[in-house]
Amino acid sequence: MDYNIVDYSSEYKGLMQFNKNKSEYIHQWYSFVEGYSKEFIESILNELNYTPLHCLEPFAGSGTTPLELQKKKIACTSFEVNPFMHKLATTKMETRYTTKAFIRSSKLVKDIIEDSAISMTLVYEKLSIPKYKTIVEGDQLKKWMFNKDIFDTFMKIKYAISFVKDSKYKNIFEIACASLLLKYSNVYRNGKCLSYKRDWKDLDLKKEDLLFEFYEKLNITILNDIKKLNELTKNELVSNKQNCYYGDIRKSIATLKDNSVDLVITSPPYLNTRDYTDIYMIELWMLDLIKDYDSLKKLRKSTLRSHVQVAYDDLTPLKIDILTNVVDEINKHKNKFWNRNLLNMIIGYFEDMNILFYNLSKKLTNYGKIYFNVANSSYYGVLIEVDKIIAEIAKLHGFKIEEIRIAREISPSAQQKEVGKLRESVIVIKK
Ligand SMILES: C[S@@+](CC[C@H](N)C(=O)[O-])C[C@H]1O[C@@H](n2cnc3c(N)ncnc32)[C@H](O)[C@@H]1O
């Protein structure tokens, strides 16, 4: 091995989790568990021996990287394939909000919600119910995501938002509403999927609490951040919003100019069978970002191959010893596979990484650096050292590995306990 694996667990303590962003200016608008903290971005800027001019974030997620960089007046181009995350990231990067217009639109929304003359019949004349099968309590269902009164309240909020003309503010209200969907539903994000909360039928979810939290989010959290934003002068304001593109990075990265990027900070989906389309199902359907099952299928196909939801013809792994060994080892358990796409997912994931690094080698300047946050995985007791395999892929495209930093050790799923803790790391890569 021509690089070191270095213990950074004390330097990165808490930095790789979104938790630290929970009460931070703008980051706090939506709690995105799969993101990292703004401090991670700061730590990178502090250690660089050059001032970056143009960063690339291939997997924007909630927009932590481009948002934090715009605060430091650094341009960042980002990509995101999930329409909900794209809306979330771009709403947070918008800088043209004014306190006055926000208060005016908030009042309009509240007045409509509170207007008792607006019946649910009127609401449902204008809005259609999402086609997701178990979205709302119904006679034929055994399980449902929302109880009827909570669902109606969300629909009334949506109805009120539909009267806001300026899409900037409409987006904020939608994000505020989305930030409460899961809490007031009967499900939770259980790592890889949505699961029903324990004793979900006995949960005492109240529409009054939902509305209280919605108004509080608008009138305290978001309003205070907009006030703070308005205190900044014009030359302090940079927005990376226009350069946050909606689409599949594997195709879109080619549109970037060669040698135009001097920093990459990112965290791709991990190789853990988590399908972001699945776990953000409620947000996608409730905000009308997905309207039918065909579009859902299409969206899944455009996501990185880190899950088993899409079937591909049999794939051949890249010729990297540590990858082919892992594939052979896992293949020995073929008759026990809980999903027949498992091996293809593993092979496909690294193929996707290969496409990414092929393109990155063209886009990154000679002095540029890549900070790549990933985690290892295991299936059937076979450890997949994702960081080391990605390091080999990067080397195939002419990159050098400065080091792999151990950020923390994470617990594998109950079925994979035998491999012990799994390394979450940051691969530091240069040309
Ligand atoms: C780990 S999250 C990124 C989190 C981000 N660093 C943050 O702090 O919010 C990975 C993101 O990659 C997105 N993604 C998956 N496949 C993609 C693709 N083919 N192109 C672009 N984005 C993709 C997912 O939707 C998800 O939002």
User: First and final CA of the chain: distance in angstroms?
Assistant: 17
168 and 259 fall within a common domain: no
Checking if the pLDDT of 415 tops 70, the result is no
147 ligand 1 Cβ < 6 A: no
Domain boundary among 179, 214, 234: 234
Query: What residue ranges in 352-417 does DSSP mark as E strands?
Result: 364-375, 377-379, 382-384, 400-410
Q: How far is the CA of 228 from the centre of ligand 1 (A)?
A: 28
pLDDT at 396 over 70: yes
Kind of pairing between the strands at 261-266 and 187-190: unpaired
| Average of per-residue pLDDT across 133-152 | 95
- Residues 245 and 217 reside in one and the same domain: no
Does 170 share its domain with 47? no
Instruction: Tell me the two tokens of residue 308.
Output: 């088993």
Ligand 1 in reach of 88 Cβ (< 6 A):
no
Residue 89 lies in a domain: no
Distances (CA, A) of 184 to 27, 181, 280, 282, 384: 21, 5, 15, 11, 37
* Among 203, 234, 265, residue at a domain's last position: 234
Mutational pocket test of ligand 1: of 303, 353, 354, 424, the residue with most ligand atoms within 8 Å of the beta carbon: 303
How many structural domains compose the chain? 2
Q: Is 385 exposed, middle or buried (0-12, 13-18, 19+ CB in 10 A)?
A: buried
What is the DSSP-derived secondary structure letter of residue 363? H
User: Could you tell me the distance, in angstroms and rounded to a whole number, from the CA of residue 88 to the centre of ligand 1?
Assistant: 12
| Segment 92-125, tens digit of pLDDT | 999 999 999 999 999 999 999 999 999 999 999 9
Which residue has a Cα nearest atom 25 of ligand 1? 82
- Asked if residue 243 and residue 199 are part of one domain, the reply reads no
**Residue 349 beta carbon below 6 angstroms from any ligand 1 atom:** no
Report pLDDT digits (tens) over 17-44.
Answer: 998 888 999 999 999 999 999 999 999 9
Query: For residue 59, how far is its CA from the centre of ligand 1 (angstroms)?
Result: 4
The partner residues of 246 in beta bridges, in order of sequence, read 80
Same domain, 213 and 358: no
Distance (Å) from CA 152 to ligand 1 centroid: 31
- Does ligand 1 have an atom closer than 6 angstroms to the CB of 267? yes
**Within this chain, do residues 53 and 107 fall inside the same structural domain, yes or no?**
no
Q: If you measure from the C-alpha of residue 209 to the centroid of ligand 1, how many angstroms do you get, rounded to a whole number?
A: 32
304, 374, 410: which to mutate for ligand 1, most atoms within 8 A of CB? 304
Same domain, 188 and 261: no
With a cut of 90, say whether residue 145 has pLDDT above it: yes
Q: Does 286 fall in a domain?
A: no
Q: Is the Cβ atom of 91 under 6 angstroms away from ligand 1?
A: no
Would you say residue 93 lies in a domain?
no
Determine, yes or no, domain membership for 400: yes
Same domain (yes/no): 254, 402: yes
Closest approach atom of ligand 1 to CA 352: 19
| Span from the CA of 268 to the centroid of ligand 1 (angstroms) | 6
- Ligand 1 nearest atom to the CA of residue 89, by list position: 9
* Residue 27, C-beta contacts closer than 8 angstroms, at least 6 positions apart: 18, 21, 38, 62, 64, 67, 68, 92
Using CA atoms, how far apart are residues 160 and 156, in angstroms rounded to an integer? 6
Whole-angstrom distance, CA of residue 115 vs CA of residue 406: 55
Q: Phi/psi of residue 375, each to 5°?
A: -140, 150
Please give the distance, rounded to the nearest whole angstrom, from the Cα atom of residue 34 to the centre of ligand 1.
9
Rounded to the nearest angstrom, the distance between the alpha carbon of 265 and the centre of ligand 1 is 12
Domain extent, residue 156, equals: 99-234
Q: Are residues 58 and 113 in the same domain?
A: no
In short, whether 373's Cβ falls inside 6 Å of ligand 1 is no
Nearest CA to ligand 1 atom 22: 80
**How far is ligand 1, taken at its centre, from the CA of residue 239, in Å?**
20
Residues 307-355: tens digit of each pLDDT = 998 888 889 999 999 999 999 999 999 999 888 899 999 999 999 999 9
Residue 291 within a domain = no
Of 216, 234, 252, the one marking the end of a domain is 234
Is residue 105 domain-shared with residue 71, that is, in the same domain?
Answer: no
Q: How confident is the model at residue 267 (pLDDT cuts 50, 70, 90)?
A: very high
Q: Are residues 176 and 249 in the same domain?
A: no
pLDDT at 416 over 70: no
Q: What is the mean pLDDT of the chain?
A: 95
Give residue 406 CA to ligand 1 midpoint distance, Å.
21
Residue 88 lies in a domain: no
Confidence check: pLDDT of 412 > 80: no
Q: Give me the CATH number covering residue 70.
A: 3.40.50.150
Burial 27-60 (b: 16+ CB within 10 A, else e): bbbbebebbbbbbbbebbbeeeeeebebbbbbbb
- Least confident stretch, 45-54, 221-230, 406-415: 406-415
Q: Evaluate whether residue 257 is within a structural domain.
A: yes
Estimate to the nearest angstrom the gap between the alpha carbon of 23 and the chain centroid: 18
Tell me whether residue 90 is in a domain.
no
| Of 379, 263, 270, nearest in space to 326 by CA | 379
Instruction: Point out the ligand 1 atom lying closest to the alpha carbon of residue 64.
Output: 8
Same domain, 198 and 173: yes
**Percent residues over pLDDT 90 in the chain:** 89
Is residue 304 within 6 Å of ligand 1 at its C-beta?
yes
User: What gap in Å lies between CA 154 and CA 112, rounded to an integer?
Assistant: 13
